[in-house]
Amino acid sequence: MATEASQAHPFQAIPKPTDFHPEISAASSPTAHDGLEFWQFMIAGSIAGSVEHTAMFPVDTLKTRMQALSGSGSLPIRPVGVRQALNSILKLEGPSVLYRGIGAMGLGAGPAHAVYFSVYEYFKDSFSGQNPNNPAAHAAAGVFATVASDAVITPMDMVKQRLQLKSSPYKGLGDCVRRVLAEEGFGAFYASYRTTVVMNAPFTAVHFAAYEAAKRGLTEFSPQSASDERLLVHATAGAVAGALAAALTTPLDVVKTQLQCQGVCGCDRYSNSSIGDVIKSVVIKDGYHGLMRGWIPRMLFHAPAAAICWSTYEAAKLFFQRLNNTNHTMIT
């Protein structure tokens, strides 16, 4: 019995971390978590996602251009660096092109991140007993969150990437949606969904686990200034987590881009959505290093994007927590 009791369950509750704030409590509802209602997590996540993607959209455009390059037939693809890609866009197309497709991302990012963070908070609460200090619970909750949010954002992400391509044949968001429906059918919007989930599940697991661990480490390093530097801690932890997760999942991101841009602007078309077939095609044409195409702008996107997203999200959460606490005080 003693041996069984001493074996830690991966999702068991463990002591509160130093950044736990008991003074901010679930005041208004027994279903609240972290002092917030489910709809407040959705609003905080929506704001965070919209700010993140708007701020980092030009870098995302560079990444898409680098990953979607296609050779002629079986010829190797000529490597293009970040600086070369940026200079080419600025000289030949103008800086406004860096924001082409931002409308599609705006329509998808807000709702998707609302789902993402609310589902994450729900399962984190369920798995860890409201103790945000368990990496296994954070990783598992992140996987559930990404499966749900990817179902929301994948169609608009596909539209966004097609609009980002050089010499894109689409006049805008509406034209792209109409033509894809007419020419390829509704399934084209979800051609990369399986790949996106396979990519984002490990991405999110690494991201959330690294974020919570980095946040805890930074807080424990200087506990006396944790409250004063709260947003800086969230931003730093988010940047570390975003960069690490982005680097590890770049090959699957290349596959996702190939599937979403297939048949457009010279990109190869695939007979099915098989991840293995796309990987073989990329390796044959560009070698194994082709699977890491765009890794630099991907890291340059996700490190600051995660910092922006997490700090914005935590700031929005803090606003709602204080608002709820104030309302509770006034009622009582």
Annotated domain spans of the chain: 100-190, 191-321
266 to each of 3, 141, 144, 167, 284, how far by Cα in Å? 62, 39, 35, 10, 17
The sign of the dihedral angle between the CA atoms of 123, 127, 129, 133 is negative
Residue whose C-alpha is closest to residue 138's, from 153, 152, 150, 126: 126
State the pTM of this model: 0.73
Residue 103 has what pLDDT?
93
What single-letter DSSP state applies at residue 28?
Answer: S
Task: Please give the average per-residue pLDDT across 222-251, as a whole number.
Answer: 77
Assign 29 a pLDDT band (cuts: 50, 70, 90): very low
What's the CA angle centered on 115, arms 41 and 192, to 5 degrees?
155
pLDDT band at 5 (very low <50, low <70, confident <90, very high): very low
CB 145 within 8 A of CB 204: yes
Q: Under 8 Å CB-to-CB from 35, ≥6 apart: which residues? A: 24, 25, 26, 27, 320, 321, 324, 325
Collapsing DSSP to helix, strand or coil, 88 comes out as helix
Which class for 54: exposed (0-12), middle (13-18), buried (19 or more C-beta within 10 A)?
Answer: middle
Check residue 139 and give its pLDDT. Answer: 81
pLDDT in tens, 112-159: 999 988 888 888 888 886 666 777 887 888 889 889 999 999 999 999
